[in-house]
Every structure is written in C-alpha cells, then in structure tokens.
Amino acid sequence: MKLGDLGDLMVLTLRDPDTAVRVLRGLELPMAVRWMVLLLAVTLSTLLAGLSLLLFPIEVDNPVSRMLSEPMSLAGIQFGAMVLSALFVAQIGRLFGGHGTFPDALLIVGWVELMLVGLQAVQVVMMMLFPATATLLSMLAFGLFLYLAVTMTKALHGFTSTGKVVVGLIGSVFLLGFVLSLIAAAFGIVPEVTP
C-alpha cells in the first residue's frame, strides 16, 4: 500500500465506512501488523502531544496533568485505552448480534486513531499560525471522532441502526470510564477534590 492509497482510504472512510471496513479486512493483515498500526498511531499521537506541550506549555497542577504531560505515561495510557476500546467494540457489538472480531476491531481502532493523528498534526500547525482556531479545531476533532466511532463500529458489526450503535457506544464509554477510574484508583491516581 502506497501513501496515495492511504489518502484514498481516508477519503473512503469518511464517505463510505462500510466499503472502508471491507477494504481494511481485505488487506488480511497479520495480527502483528495490526498491533504495529496501533503502536504507530500511539507513537505519532504522543509525539504530536509532546510537540504541542513544548509550543504551548500548560500548567501542571495535579497528578493527572503531571502524568499526561509525561510522554511514556501518555503513550501507555493511550495504548491501554485503545486496546480496551477495541475489546469493548468487539465484545459488546457481538453481544448485540454483531459479527465483528477483536482483530478487526483492533485494526479499525488503530486506523481511526491514525486519521485523528492527521487532524492533530493540522491542529498543531494551525495553532501556531492562527491560535484562535484551537477551540474550533478541537470541536472538529471531537466531532470527527464521534462520527468515525459510530460509523466504523456500525460497519464492523454489520448493524443497520445508527441510533442503537450510538446508545451502545455511549454505554461502552461509561463502562470504559468506570474501568479506567478503578484502575486509576488502584494505582493511587485520583484527582484532588477541594471543598
């Protein structure tokens, strides 16, 4: 697959997620390559986050902020969250009658993250040139994430109802948040609450 093919696949993903999922599945990538896609996405995202922190430093005033400002911690958290997301997308979708598998979910989560990394790179450049666009680009990135999460999950499992996928995704996000908060509490990483 060439660089131009990646651009075409990005456009296809935005226009026709069902076909994009078929193309991704048709690549028949071995499991090791699927893990590498995820690692590449995490690495690029962490590098861009580090660059963003260098260009636009933020105040680190609590344990969570300190942890997220450390590149290795951020990479580990992102990687863990993406693996859990792929697991939840695969398993919860199958509970509701979908036919997606964990390897395909892992590839799709990695692919979506790579697309978001592209937007993240544009965001860093735009923040340097036009700082006022930061909020707008953040909203655009969040909207794109929601769109891709819903449409790619729907395509992965062969669902026909977008509404049910949205409800399932919201439930999964709450469940994932609960699991991550339990893990954070177990490691003593809890935000400080001041009365």
- Contact between 45 and 113 under an 8 Å Cβ cutoff? The reply is yes
Tally of structural domains, the chain: 1
Does 189 fall in a domain?
Answer: no
Q: Give a yes or no: residue 194 inside a domain.
A: no
Divide the 195 residues of the chain into consecutive groups of 10 and give the mean pLDDT of each group: 79 93 94 96 92 79 71 88 90 89 95 92 86 82 91 92 84 78 73 48
Domain holding 88, by residue range, is 3-57+64-184
Neighbours of 110 (CB within 10 A): 25
Q: What is the pLDDT of residue 195?
A: 47
Long-range contacts of 127-130 (CB under 8 A, 24+ apart): 127/52, 127/55, 127/56, 128/55
Kindly state whether residue 106 falls inside one of the protein's structural domains: yes
pLDDT of residue 194: 46
- Report if residue 26 sits inside a domain: yes
Give domain status of residue 70, yes or no.
yes
Q: pTM here? A: 0.84
- pLDDT reported for residue 37: 94
Q: Is residue 191 part of a domain?
A: no
Asked if the structure places residue 159 within a domain, the reply is: yes
pLDDT at residue 191 in the model: 52
Q: Which pLDDT belongs to residue 2?
A: 67
What is the C-alpha to C-alpha distance for residues 120 and 113, in angstroms, rounded to an integer? 10
**Does residue 76 belong to any structural domain of this protein?**
yes
Taking the C-alpha atoms of residue 39 and residue 135, their distance in angstroms, rounded to an integer, is 28
